[in-house]
Amino acid sequence: MSDKTERSAPGSAPTGSAAPRQTLALAAMMFAVSMTFIDQTIVAIAAPSIVDELDLSSSGMQWVVNAYLLALAAFFALGGRLADIVGHRRIMVVGTLLFVVSSVLCGCVPDDDVALAWLITFRATQGLGAALMFPAALAVVVAVFPVDRRGRALALFFGLSGALTALGPLLGGWLTDWTWRAIFWVNVPVALVALVLTALAHIPPQSRRERLDVPGAALVAVGMGVSVLGLQQASAWGWSSVATWACIIGGLAVLGVFCAYELRVEQPLIKLAVFRDQAFGVDAAVLFFSMLAFVPVFFFASVYAQVSLSASPNQAALFLLYFFIGFGIASQWGGRILDQRGARPALKLGTALGAVGFALWANKLTDLSMHDQWLYAALAGAGIGFLLAPASTDAVNRSLNASYGEVTGITQTVRNYAAAVGLAVFGTILTHVTTDKVTETLMAKGVPDDGAREAARDIAEAVTGHPDSRTPSGEGPLATAMRDSMDAIRMDFAEANQWVFYGMAIALGIGFLCALRHPGTQVTEEQRTPGREPAHQ
């Protein structure tokens, strides 16, 4: 491949190749990335059904959800670099194939002792496929559209994310009523459409002769994986365990080494120099603290609805719809605030409203009424909606010496790592509090302390399934006490979820304090890198 072909100008086809069909290319990339957005939320609705059929534990199911998020975060920057070096179209196709094959294998998990390892493995390879696919798809859109049309194309590309994240629970509820395995198989027709449109679009091959930062990729993957392992396993190992803190501190130390290495290497995996801009750093911090709540809330709210409210998967999906109604409406207002007044007002309003919304929602969880919670769920969603697009867009617009793909790699890594951390931390809190409260309930029914605590641990680990199906059989005192206590145990679980939702409110509160540090200045057209338009996410 000639050097001229390798470095063709964005928006123009390389010499000797057919001109790209821009509409087909955009449609192909949108179909491809739609799978990654839907898969962030669709599994949460099916979690109780998966737990019931495969006899998984609560922490095991959290790993099934988290394996995807963690792999997506750990390898997103690597996917972007590989797309630059190998070629955007090639890596997009490879990522799509890896994603859809992994999806099929997730749906074909055997119902035996290998089920948990099987699901975690192929959910992780799903995340790897998404990490390859997403930045490559973004680069394709940037490459095939000229500067004067790129902003509108990117607005459509990124605007899809909120809508499809909302579609995940609804689609998951409908498919789970048939079989939970269909939530994975539904990716097959979507991937086929994406691949066919990619072939028809005549996307030009583009690549660069650059070095791949393999040590950086290894360091960020190990650091993220080990730190989340410690947070996730704290419920099983205990917070006083040496292993728990060795993983957490060791993982964070590796991430520190990664940052130091990236600042010295000539061609880094992630350009950390962009954090020298105070506004960019604030945008990233707000995204981190808001994402501690945004993706995990789907899992915890869905399980709460199905356990404490005895809702069906479809009803749980409608419960989450309250959140997305607020999110969808506020995201439009957030974009207008960004255009008219800059990111700072949107970030302050979003984090403050989100903190209040999650706190009020937490307070209503013990009412055990789905319809009494709609306003607070919508407020929490509106808070995230106000800030998500402005923070992401402002971050990209301030990266004056980096490309869309490079900065999106940073923001997406921050977002997905935060989601994985949030799921791990809040899952550990939920397990601990549920165990303590169920122990108290059983002891009040006359169950001895040791027996009550052992039974409470079993319930806490199996609570994402239907508790009635996990109670001991027979007519012994423990079995009788547990059957008599199921209503109280559902309330115990609701009270344990209050801790989780209050934790989400605190995360948004910290995000508000970060938003106060935003300088509030807007990027002018003269400051932007020549040839680049502002992003509109």
Greater pLDDT, 337 or 474? 337
Instruction: Kindly state the tokens that stand for 138.
Output: 């973004």
Q: How far, rounded to the nearest angstrom, does the alpha carbon of residue 506 sit from its chain's CA centroid? A: 19
Span 203-224, average pLDDT = 84
Residue 213 has pLDDT above 50, yes or no: yes
- Degrees to nearest 5, angle at CA 341 with 337 and 343: 70
Span 254-264, average pLDDT = 93
Helix or strand (DSSP H, E) at 295: none
Q: Tell me the C-alpha distance between 451 and 392, whole Å.
A: 50
Predicted confidence band at 446 (pLDDT cuts at 50, 70, 90)?
confident
Contact 505, 123 (CB under 8 A): no
pLDDT at 448 (0 to 100): 76
pLDDT at 499 (0 to 100): 96
In 3D space, the residue among 459, 411, 419 whose CA is nearest the CA of residue 438 turns out to be 459
pLDDT at 470 (0 to 100): 46
Instruction: Kindly state the tokens that stand for 203.
Output: 């996307």
Span 146-151, average pLDDT = 68
Q: Tell me the C-alpha distance between 2 and 446, whole Å.
A: 80
* Secondary structure of residue 449 in the 3-state scheme: helix
pLDDT at 467 (0 to 100): 44
Contact 383, 351 (CB under 8 A): yes
Instruction: Kindly state the tokens that stand for 494.
Output: 């609701």
Span 300-322, average pLDDT = 87
Instruction: Kindly state the tokens that stand for 106.
Output: 């997730």
Residue 441 has pLDDT above 90, yes or no: no
Contact 160, 426 (CB under 8 A): no
Greater pLDDT, 331 or 251? 251
Contact 175, 316 (CB under 8 A): no
pLDDT of 6-23, one tens digit each? 344 444 444 344 456 888
Maximum average pLDDT range among 16-20, 21-25, 155-159, 509-513: 509-513
Instruction: Kindly state the tokens that stand for 47.
Output: 């979690």
Residue 248 has pLDDT above 50, yes or no: yes
Residue 49 has pLDDT above 70, yes or no: yes
Residue 2 has pLDDT above 50, yes or no: no
pLDDT of 516-529, one tens digit each? 999 877 655 445 44
Domain boundaries, the chain: 20-209, 214-268
Maximum average pLDDT range among 27-31, 270-274, 286-290, 476-480: 286-290
- Which of 195-209, 353-367, 377-391 shows the lowest mean pLDDT across its residues? 195-209
pLDDT at 524 (0 to 100): 52
Span 322-329, average pLDDT = 88
Instruction: Kindly state the tokens that stand for 126.
Output: 């799903």
Amino acid of residue 346: A
Contact 89, 25 (CB under 8 A): no
> What length is written for the chain?
537
pLDDT at 63 (0 to 100): 86
Greater pLDDT, 469 or 82? 82
pLDDT at 184 (0 to 100): 92
Q: Tell me the C-alpha distance between 502 and 505, whole Å.
A: 5
DSSP string computed for 23-91: HHHHHHHHHHHHHHHHHTTHHHHHHHHHHHHHT--HHHHHHHHHHHHHHHHHHHHHHHHHHHHH-HHHH
pLDDT of 111-143, one tens digit each? 888 999 999 999 999 999 999 998 888 888 877
pLDDT of 65-124, one tens digit each? 888 988 888 888 888 888 888 888 899 999 999 999 999 999 999 988 899 999 999 999
Maximum average pLDDT range among 272-276, 419-423, 477-481: 419-423
In 3D space, the residue among 214, 204, 315, 341 whose CA is nearest the CA of residue 269 turns out to be 214
Instruction: Convert 326-344 to b/e letters by CB count within 10 Å (16 or more is b).
Output: bbbebbeebbebbeeebbb
Residue 462 has pLDDT above 80, yes or no: no
pLDDT at 20 (0 to 100): 61
Residue 272 has pLDDT above 80, yes or no: yes
Predicted confidence band at 404 (pLDDT cuts at 50, 70, 90)?
low
DSSP state of 516: T
Q: How far, rounded to the nearest angstrom, does the alpha carbon of residue 41 sit from its chain's CA centroid? A: 8
- Which of 22-26, 167-171, 506-510 shows the lowest mean pLDDT across its residues? 167-171
Contact 423, 44 (CB under 8 A): no
CA distances from 42 to 19, 21, 36, 319 (A): 37, 32, 10, 14
Predicted confidence band at 403 (pLDDT cuts at 50, 70, 90)?
low
Greater pLDDT, 260 or 166? 260
Contact 132, 163 (CB under 8 A): no
CA distances from 54 to 63, 119, 140, 436 (A): 14, 10, 40, 26
DSSP string computed for 130-147: HHHHHHHHHHHHHHHS-H
Checking phi first, is residue 380 left (phi over 0); if not, alpha (psi -120 to 50) or beta? alpha
- Which of 224-238, 377-391, 493-507 shows the lowest mean pLDDT across its residues? 224-238
Q: What percent of the chain has pLDDT over 70?
A: 84
Residue 412 has pLDDT above 70, yes or no: yes
pLDDT at 405 (0 to 100): 63
pTM: 0.82
To the nearest whole number, what is the mean pLDDT of the chain? Answer: 82
Span 406-418, average pLDDT = 84
Q: What percent of the chain has pLDDT over 90?
A: 33
Greater pLDDT, 221 or 211? 221
Residue 535 has pLDDT above 50, yes or no: no
**CATH class, range 20-209:** mainly alpha
Residue 463 has pLDDT above 90, yes or no: no
